[in-house]
Amino acid sequence: MSIAFGKALAVRETPIPGLIVLDLPVHGDARGWFKENWQREKMSATGIDLPDFGPVQNNISFNDAVGTTRGIHAEPWDKYVSVATGRIFGAWVDLREGESFGAVFTTELDPSTAIFVPRGVGNSYQTLEVDTAYTYLVNDHWSPDATYTFLNLADETAAIEWPIPLADVEISPKDKAHPRLAEVVPMPPKKILVTGANGQLGRALRDEFGEHPWIEYATRADLDLTSAGLDDARRWRDYSAIINAAAYTKVDAAETPAGRTEAWAANVTAVAALARVASENGITLVHVSSDYVFDGTKDGAYSTDDPVSPLGVYGQTKAAGDAIVASVPRHYIVRTSWVIGDGNNFVRTMASLAERGVDPRVVNDQFGRLTFTDDIASAIRALVTTGAPFGRYNVTGDGGSASWFDVARQVFAMTGHDPQRVTGVSTEEYFAGAQTPIAPRPRNSVLDLSASHATGIMLKDAHVSLRDYLRRT
């Protein structure tokens, strides 16, 4: 066996998206050779997305004869394939749903070469030397409940040019019985789970992502995030992302003994459980945060890097949830404010008061921007599907800031009523004489949108979105 010694670590792309060939440095002399078959730090420096694929099992297939032919098998996990001894001809066929379905790549592998095979790409090989050991790392354990996809080795569409004709080699009966490409059921994408599916953001996410077999919408009745059995509630390795739209948002009620318990359970305990599931299974966790993590005393917009300083219980629970999610390797913290969606909200209340001839008193010393749930849903989809850098993002309406008083007057004017009917009052005046606990509000809820803009997320002007919303309602 001839091995190319002294190659530099390098990667080569292939016609199949995500299928990457690696040249590995092999050091040898008269005694034999040595290589670093898997070196996370060095491979990370190449810029390829291998370090986080999280192998949990190492398998070896030993083949004592030339011409041993196996495959084509596509499993619902990623594989890192290399040769310990000998040499193979490898063939890979994309069996995933999408435009690249049916794409083929072939090459030879020896100990100085490896290949990363993404989930859903069919893997097969034919040995070219005796005593060939074929080794692979995988990032999931074998399960009879997993989804597998297969292709016949002799498929005419793939037209793989095997070095040794298939008629002259030993092939298992199972491999001979696999379907042709036209009959293959493509490997579906990994699933996305949306929790809190009946809430106003959950409904917007349903509109944004649509109804597909790989999108799962769950309510608390479907999935209790605080249950001790959450770890086994799903086959979590089949999921790529969890979008947590479930939250306790009763800001004032959170100041009561019962509300405080509920707020911490939903916004912290449940989030911690999801964070654990996401971390252990390589899942991207999307967490929706709030302007209430700040005290509102900053002069200017809050950036994604500003330290949190919540005033009330609700803000404290959201800040605690943020800290937990930040420990998940793959996470997006989407911080938003003044959310308006499908259901009862400030804008609909003002429109109703205007129509009924009621002249409201509205707080004029709290400033921010309205954020509509369809914009939040669109931003979340962009983060999840484009591979944006993990971290915190502020997502609100764009444009200038306004007070609640300003917004109320805009609603009156846009619905054909006299905005002068709205009277501005301070926060203290508005809540004077309240009989129930009132949560402290941040006076400044303006969030800086630079990080979202840098990622290509362009958010609509809040004033324009308000006009569009009123036209739809």
- Catalytic positions: 73, 136
> CB of 197 within 8 A of CB of 219?
yes
d(CA 398, CA 337) in angstroms, rounded, equals 12
Residues 6+ apart with CB under 8 A from 87: 1, 108, 109, 110, 127, 128, 129, 132
> CB of 164 within 8 A of CB of 112?
no
Cα 455 off chain centre by: 15
> CB of 26 within 8 A of CB of 114?
no
> CB of 355 within 8 A of CB of 445?
no
Q: Residue 174: phi, psi to the nearest 5? A: -65, -45
Structure tokens at 95: 């069996």
Q: How many beta carbons lie within 10 A of that of residue 211, not counting itself?
A: 7
Structure tokens at 37: 């078959």
d(CA 262, CA 249) in angstroms, rounded, equals 10
The single-letter DSSP state of residue 291 is G
Structure tokens at 314: 């609700």
d(CA 96, CA 159) in angstroms, rounded, equals 18
Residues 6+ apart with CB under 8 A from 174: none
- Residue 437's identity, in one-letter code, is P
Name the residue with tokens 């040769």. 83
Name the residue with tokens 């054909």. 416
- Residue 149's identity, in one-letter code, is T
d(CA 407, CA 409) in angstroms, rounded, equals 5
Structure tokens at 444: 């400044």
The dihedral region occupied by 147, where left means phi > 0, alpha psi between -120 and 50, and beta the remainder, is beta
